[in-house]
Amino acid sequence: MAASAASSVHISNMSPTSVSPPVPPPTPISTLTALSKSPQESKASSPILLPRSSCSEDTLPLAVFYGPLDAKNPLLASCEKEIRELLGFMKRKETIATTEDQEYEFHRRCAASLFNIWTKYAPRLPAAYYNEKLLKVGDSLCQMKEYKLALLQCYGRYLQQFSTNLDETKADVTQFKTVFFPNGFGDETAGLTFHALNSRNICSYQLVCESDENLQNKESVVQCLHILSSLRLIMQVALPHEHFCWIIFNGTIYIYTICRKLMMIGQSSKALEYLLWASMCMESSVPLLSARHLTWRATLYTAVCQCYYDCQCGIHGESFARRALAKIDELRQLELMSSLQSQEESTRSYREATIKMAVMIFKRGVFESRRKNKVFFRPKQRVNLREAQTLPWPRTITERLLEEMFDSAASRFLAVLEALTDPNRRLLHTGPIATDEVELRDVTTELFIAGKELLIVSNSGTDGMLGFSKSSLLKHVIERKNTISLDAAVKFIKLAFNYEEWSLFESAASQLTYFLQKQNYPESKKAEMDLTLLLAIEPVINVKRNKGLVFPLENFKESQCVQAYVRKVALHDSCVKTIGYAEDIFRLAATLYSCVCFSPQNVQPDREIVVDMIMFLWQKCKLGIQKINISKNDYAKFTQKISSNKWVHLLWQINEVIHSYKMEGIDIVVVAEVTLRLSEILECLGSPTRRFKKSLGKILNEKYETVHVSTDVNM
C-alpha cells in the first residue's frame, strides 16, 4: 500500500516487539563518487594529494613487536586514540559546519584524516584486529549518518580483499560463496563479511534517499532494486545455516524498509517479490519460528497482502492472508503442545497477528460477498441506507460482518479504514468508488456509516464533542479497547472527503479541528492544517453543495465549518470583496499560503495535498491572468489595475508556496511557468516608458510558447 502521510494508519508499520530493528536500511550509490558535494565541487573534484610520511610504514615494526595485543599495546593505543579523536570531532559537526562551504570542508578533512589513519596503521595491525576495527568505525559513522564515508572508508575497504568483478545482480549462490566465503562458513571471518555486505547495502540505500528522498528518478528505483537483489542473495547464502539467523532477521527488516518506500511511490508490483521472499525466509529459519518473532512475521504478511491489493489482485491478497492465518494457528498449536506455558506477551503477539490477517481478509470479503451473481437474475432487495442510520447497531450487512469478525471498536474501525483505503486514489481527486455495481457502492456507504458510529460511540465526551487518544490504533486493537486514536480519526475524515461524503466530512472535520486547536504537539498541528486545507477546498470541489448519503455528526452547525479555518487566515481586502466561486478560490489560496509560509518546517501540511492544491490553483490562475487587459498607453492605470488585481496576487501566493515548500513532487515545467509569468508582470511594472499594445495574457502566452519551443529543441 502506497500510503504516505503521517496520519495514515498502516497496520503493517509495526516493528518487531522482541527485537529492535536497526536504523532503517541505507543503500549504495557508486563508490567512485566524491565524498561530498558543494557549490565548489567542480573545483574540488580533482584528486586530493595527501602528504606521505618520509619513511615507509612497511619498515616500521608490527604491533606484535610491542608485546601482547591488548589495550596496553602502544601501537593499538595510538590507533584507538586517533580514531576516538576523529569520531569525537565529527560529533561536533552541527556546531562546526554551519554553512554549505564549511560542511564541504568538514567532510573533506574527516575523509582525509580517516584515510591517513588506515594508511598509517593497516600494514602494522593484525588482519583480524584491522578488519574488526573497520566495521566498528563504520557502524559509528552510520550512527552519525555519515553513510558515504562509512561506505567508502570502512565497509568498502573491508570488501576490497575480495574480488571486485562480481556482478551481484547476475551472480548465483555458488559464485557468491566462492568470492566472499572461500574458506566456508565455519571461518571466524564469515560473520564479519556478512556484516560488511549488509552494511554496504544499508549505506547505499541511505545515500539514494539523501539524493532523491521520494525516489522520483528512475535510476533511484533501479538502485533500490539492485540493493534488494543483493540482500536477497546474502539471505539465500545464509539461510541454510541456523547460526546465521540474525542475518535473515536483519535482512527482512532491510527489505521491508526499502519495499515500504517503493510501495509509497506506487511501485508495489516491484516490491512484491522481495516481500514474499522475506516472508518465506521467516518461515524457513527454524530459530525465527518462535512466537517471539510472530509480530514481525505478521507485519511482513500484511505488507505482502497490501502489495497484492495495490496491484488489483485482491483474490491473491485474500488467499495469502488466509494462508498466513493458517500458519499462525499452526504455530499456536505447536506452542500449546509444548511444555511451555503461554505467556501474556505471546498472547498479545498472536492476537495482533490474527487481527492483521483478519483485516486483510475483510478488505476483499466485505465487497465480494455483495457482488451480483450473474447466473441468477432475481434482484436483491436493497436496504434504504438513510433509514438504516436511525436503527441500532448492527444495522447493515457490513456492520454484522464487522460484529462477527472483530471484538472491539478499535479493531472494527481498523478494518473499516483498511477496506476504504485505495493507494491508487489521490486525496483531492474525489469521487465514489470506481465501479458500476450499485451493490459495491452501497458497501462503501455502509463502511462510512459504520465508521461514523464507531467514532461517535468510542470518542464522544459528555459535551457531545469528540476527543481522541494519542496512542496508535493498533495498540488499542491489541488491548481490546473501544477507543479510536487521533491519527485513525484523521485518516477516516480524509477518506470521507475523498469519497465525497460531504456532510460526514464537514461535521467530523469541524469537530476534530476544534479538538486539535487545543493540542500543542507537532503531529496535532500538522493534522489541523491538513483538515483546514480540506475544509477550504471543499466549497470549490463541491460546487453543487451535495451532502452525501451519510448523516452529519450530531451538534453540528454548518456555520462552524467555515469559521474553523477562516479564523486562521487573514484574508486580503481584495479577496473579501469577491463573491461566489471566485471567493472560495482566493480563500483557498490565502489558507494554503498561511499554512505553508507561516508554519515551521517540522509542522508542514501533507505533501500530496499541497502539490495537488498548487496544480488546481494554477489552472484557475492561468485563466484569470489571461483575461487581464492592459490600456494601450496609460501606464498609471495599468499599474493600479495590476496592483489591485486578485489574480496577480494569487499568482504571487502560488509562487511563494512553491518556494517555501519542498516541492519535489511538482512538475518543474509548472514551476518555470509560474516564475516566468510573475517575472513578466514585474518587468512590465518596472518599465513606465513601455507602450502596451497587447493584452497581458497575449504577452505572457508568447513568452510561454517561446520557452516551450526552446525546451523542445533542447530535448
Amino acid 77: pLDDT: 83
Whether 455 shows a pLDDT value over 60: the answer reads: yes
Q: In the prediction, which pLDDT does 212 show?
A: 86
User: What is the phi-psi region of residue 548: left when phi exceeds 0, alpha when psi lies from -120 to 50, beta otherwise?
Assistant: left
What is the model's pLDDT at position 711? Answer: 43
Cα 26 from Cα 147, distance rounded (Å): 8
CB 612 within 8 A of CB 428: yes
Residue predicted with more confidence, 115 or 66? 115
Cite the beta strand spans of 23-137 per DSSP E: none
- Contact assessment for residue 401 and residue 366, using Cβ atoms and an 8 Å cutoff: yes
Predicted local distance difference test score (pLDDT) of residue 29: 34
Backbone phi, psi, residue 567, to 5°: -60, -25
pLDDT greater than 80 at residue 52: no
Between 378 and 493, the more confident residue is: 493
- Across 82-175, where does the E strand assignment appear? none
The identity of residue 73, as a single letter, is N
Report d(CA 8, CA 530) in Å as an integer. 12
Report for 102-116, 302-316, 499-513, 563-577: range of highest mean pLDDT: 302-316
Write the burial class of residue 94 (CB in 10 Å: 0-12 exposed, 13-18 middle, 19+ buried). Answer: exposed
Q: Which of 402, 455, 475 has its CA nearest to residue 9?
A: 475
Q: How is 173-205 classified by DSSP, letter by letter?
A: HHHHHHHH-TT-SSSTTHHHHHHHHHHHHHHHH
Q: Is the dihedral of CA 522, 524, 530, 535 positive or negative?
A: negative
Angle at the Cα of 648 (from 646 to 652), degrees rounded to 5? 115
Q: What is the pLDDT of residue 463?
A: 59
Backbone angles phi and psi of 407, in degrees to 5: -115, 10
Q: CA 227 to CA 247: how far, in whole Å?
A: 15
Residue that has been written with the C-alpha cell 613487536 in this structure = 65
Q: How many residues does the chain have?
A: 715
25 φ, ψ (degrees, to nearest 5): -50, 135
CA atoms of 237 and 176, how far apart (whole Å): 8
Residue-level pLDDT at 567:
45
pLDDT tens by residue, 74-105: 778 888 898 899 999 888 888 887 888 888 88
What is the model's pLDDT at position 55?
Answer: 44
Q: Can you list the pairs that 211-217 forms with residues at least 24 positions away whose Cβ atoms lie under 8 Å?
A: 211/29, 213/664, 214/265, 214/664, 214/665, 215/261, 215/262, 215/265, 215/267, 216/265, 216/664, 216/665
Residues 709-714: contacts with CB under 8 Å, at least 24 apart: 711/669
C-alpha of 369 from chain center: 33
Residues 6+ apart with CB under 8 A from 350: 291, 294, 328, 332
Is residue 184 over pLDDT 90? no
- C-alpha 66/C-alpha 121 separation (Å) is 14
Cell readout for 55 is: 619513511
**691 residue type, one letter:** R
- Euclidean distance between CA atoms 335 and 328, whole angstroms: 11
For the chain, give the mean pLDDT: 79
Q: What is the pLDDT of residue 702?
A: 54
All structural domains of the chain with their residue ranges: 56-262, 381-568, 612-715
Residue 98 CA to residue 398 CA, distance in Å, equals: 57
Average pLDDT (240-260) is: 94
Phi, psi of 410 (to 5 degrees): -65, -45
Question: Quick one: average pLDDT of 283-295?
Answer: 91
Lowest mean pLDDT, pick from 1-15, 270-284, 431-445, 681-695 = 1-15
Nearest to 418, CA basis, from 435, 428, 406: 406
Rounded CA gap, 361 and 319, in Å?
Answer: 8
What span, in angstroms and rounded, lies between the C-alpha atoms of 162 and 179? 6
Maximum CA extent, the chain: 97
Phi, psi of 27, rounded to the nearest 5 degrees: -155, 155
Lowest mean pLDDT among 424-433, 485-494, 515-524: 515-524
Query: In 157-290, where do the E strands start and end?
Result: none
DSSP-assigned letter for residue 631:
-
pLDDT at 65: 54
Q: Which residues, in sequence order, are CB contacts of 281 under 8 Å at separation 6+?
A: 235, 239, 248, 251, 252, 288
Cβ–Cβ < 8 Å for 453, 462: no
pLDDT of residue 269 exceeding 80, the answer is yes
Give the helix, strand, coil percentages of the chain, each rounded to 5: 65, 0, 35
Question: Which residues make Cβ contacts (< 8 Å) with residue 46, sequence separation at least 6?
Answer: none
Separation of alpha carbons 292 and 335, rounded Å: 11
Q: Read off the pLDDT of each residue in 408-414 and give the average, rounded to a whole number.
A: 93
State how far the Cα of 178 lies from the Cα of 192, in Å rounded to an integer: 16
Decide which of 380 and 419 is more confident: 419
Phi and psi dihedrals of 494, rounded to 5?
A: -65, -40
Q: Is the pLDDT of residue 391 over 70?
A: yes
| pLDDT beyond 50 at 564 | no
Q: Does residue 466 sit in helix, strand or coil?
A: strand
Looking up cell 565455519 gives 186
Q: What is the pLDDT of residue 531?
A: 93
Q: From CA 678, how far away is CA 652, in angstroms rounded?
A: 7
pLDDT of residue 497: 94
Of 362, 560, 539, nearest to 450 by C-alpha is 362
**Residue position matching grid coordinates 520557452:** 707
Distance of CA 356 to the CA centre of its chain: 21
Helix axis angle, 502-516 to 486-498, nearest 10°: 150
Q: What confidence score (pLDDT) does residue 99 get?
A: 84
Looking at per-residue pLDDT, the higher value among 89 and 301 belongs to 301
- Over residues 260-272, the mean pLDDT reads 93
Examine the pLDDT at 573 and tell me if it is beyond 60.
no
Each residue of 143-178: pLDDT tens digit?
A: 999 999 999 999 999 998 887 677 777 788 888 888
Is residue 574's pLDDT more than 70? no
Instruction: Kindly indicate the confidence band of residue 213, based on its pLDDT and cuts at 50, 70 and 90.
Output: confident
- With a cut of 90, say whether residue 521 has pLDDT above it: no
Burial 573-582 (b: 16+ CB within 10 A, else e): ebbeeeeeeb
pLDDT (0 to 100) of residue 14: 41
- On whether the CB atoms of residues 206 and 27 are closer than 8 A, the answer is yes
DSSP annotation string for 487-549 = HHHHHHHHHHHHTT-HHHHHHHHHHHHHHHTT--SHHHHHHHHHHHHHHHHHHHH-TT----S
Of 273-282, 294-303, 343-352, the poorest mean pLDDT is in: 343-352
What residues contact 68, with CB distance under 8 A and at least 6 apart? none
Residue from 426, 559, 568, 437 nearest 498 by CA: 426
The answer to whether the peptide bond before residue 394 is cis (omega within 30 degrees of 0) is yes
Grid coordinates representing 31? 563508490
pLDDT single digits (tens) 654-710: 988 988 887 666 778 888 888 888 887 777 766 655 544 444 555 455 545 554 544
pLDDT over 70 percentage in the chain:
75
Position 644 scores a pLDDT of 61
pLDDT (tens digit per residue) in 591-636: 999 988 888 888 889 989 999 999 999 988 888 877 765 554 555 6
Q: What is the pLDDT of residue 383?
A: 75
Instruction: Name the residue type at position 471.
Output: S
* 280-305 mean pLDDT: 93
Task: Please name the helix (run of DSSP H) or strand (run of DSSP E) that holds residue 457, with its range, or none.
Answer: helix 438-459
